[in-house]
Amino acid sequence: MTTKTALVTGGNKGIGLEIARGLRDVGFEVLLGARDPIRGKEAAEAIGATAVPLDVTDEDSIARLAEGIEVLDVLVNNAGILLERGAPPSGIPVQMLRDTFAVNVFGVVAVTNALLPALRRAPAARIVNLGSGLGSLAYAADAEHVYARNPLLAYNSSKSALSAVTLAYANELRGTSIKVNVADPGYCATDLNGHAGPRTPGQGAVAAIRLATLPDDGPTGGFFDEEGAVPF
């Protein structure tokens, strides 16, 4: 049996590392993408993965990686940033939105487009984008919901945009064997939030691993946490 290959961007720590570990545990050859080659190598060696240098905001970095991958069974777009801390939307500099979208949205599109040929060569590829309940417009529109009281303009809107990006790819690829979904890891303790979340990175990885290993009759174009569907 041919070993399947998975790439996890931003995989050297936090939820990304746990996704990489989980996919390795179920038999994937895991490519662990990291901007820092030293940290990437250390993390990959710790879990039995292969480190690959990848900066999702650098076209040359993405192109070099894509050139070395002939077939890819799973792409997990996990790399993400959160730059704002406590400021209201009216106090967020526009440059902060640009920097956030560069990683959380444009980086996902750039990596996905570069690797789509390799994904098409796989028998039944899966693309999983790491979203957030903070990006749910349904939650944001409910004044009583806790997420409506957490107005992180740049981060939240980037995750809303990521859902739209996911749906666009899912619709384009709906006639193929490729499935594209958003995973909501929940509020996990990671570097992203100063380790403030009540959930562990391992718990946050569950939904992504499940979506990465969907059967042929699994969903596409959906938003899921470990318990089921999340409203867009």
Point out the residues that are catalytic.
Answer: 155
User: Which tokens go with 95?
Assistant: 């440059």
Cβ count within 10 A of residue 195: 11
212 contacts 126 by C-beta, under 8 angstroms = yes
What is the Cα–Cα distance from 38 to 121, expressed in whole angstroms? 31
* Element of type H or E holding 29: strand 29-34
What is the Cα–Cα distance from 74 to 104, expressed in whole angstroms? 18
Give Cα 132 to chain centroid, integer Å: 10
DSSP letter at 56 equals: T
Report residue 228: phi and psi, to 5°: 145, -155
3-state SS class at 185: coil
CA dihedral 139, 141, 147, 150 (to 10 degrees): 160
